[in-house]
Amino acid sequence: MVAFFNSIYFHLKTYNKTNFFKHTFCEFNQIDDFEFPKNTNYKSKSESMYFYTHEGIYRKSNHWGRVANCRWKLIANDNYKNQQIVIGFAKWSNFYSINSSEKNFFIDVDFKKKSVKLQPKKENTTNYLFSFSEAQKRIKQITHLFKDDKWAKYFDDDIEIIRKNIISEFINSDKTLQEIKLSHK
């Protein structure tokens, strides 16, 4: 019964050709072996083309990222260049609402590369979840923690240790950055 309830809870909103373009986040995978049909389902003012299937959507475009009121990322092949026309595919289940209340995202940090990115929740995730706007705010603050060391001069520990401890707590709680910094002094 619990597994059934969890699967219902996880998929509260179902996306399809009628609503995928309304305030969503999605990661499209670049597809090199798909021939776009002449009878596309939709062509935008910016010349992007869309083809719907039962499983998902193909998008042919030269721009990704902020698309109208959506945030669509392209997981590109190594030879991809910005502004190049490519075809991406996403399953309907890969679309997530970016409205202000749903907690659909977690923050992924690579401490070695000093990089941070937003990730959509996975079905069995144990990561702390945030709304899209809250995750974006936190990512901006984490990026600052990686770029600037001035904030760390008030701490006794090594900068890399304190940075990792503070950021780890920040992405795994609802505490503010200031609260966390004060607790580590």
Q: What is the pLDDT of residue 5?
A: 42
CA 134 to CA 93: how far, in whole Å? 22
Q: Which residue has the tokens 């309907």?
A: 92
Q: Residue 81: exposed, middle, or buried by beta-carbon count in 10 A (0-12, 13-18, 19+)? A: exposed
Q: What is the pLDDT of residue 122?
A: 80
The whole-model pTM stands at 0.79
Q: What is the pLDDT of residue 144?
A: 96
B/e letters for 127-158, b = 16+ CB within 10 Å, e = fewer, are eeebbbeebbebbeebeebeeeeeebeebeee
Q: What is the pLDDT of residue 7?
A: 42
Q: What is the pLDDT of residue 12?
A: 56
Q: What is the pLDDT of residue 78?
A: 83
**Low-confidence spans in the chain with pLDDT less than 70:** 1-12, 100
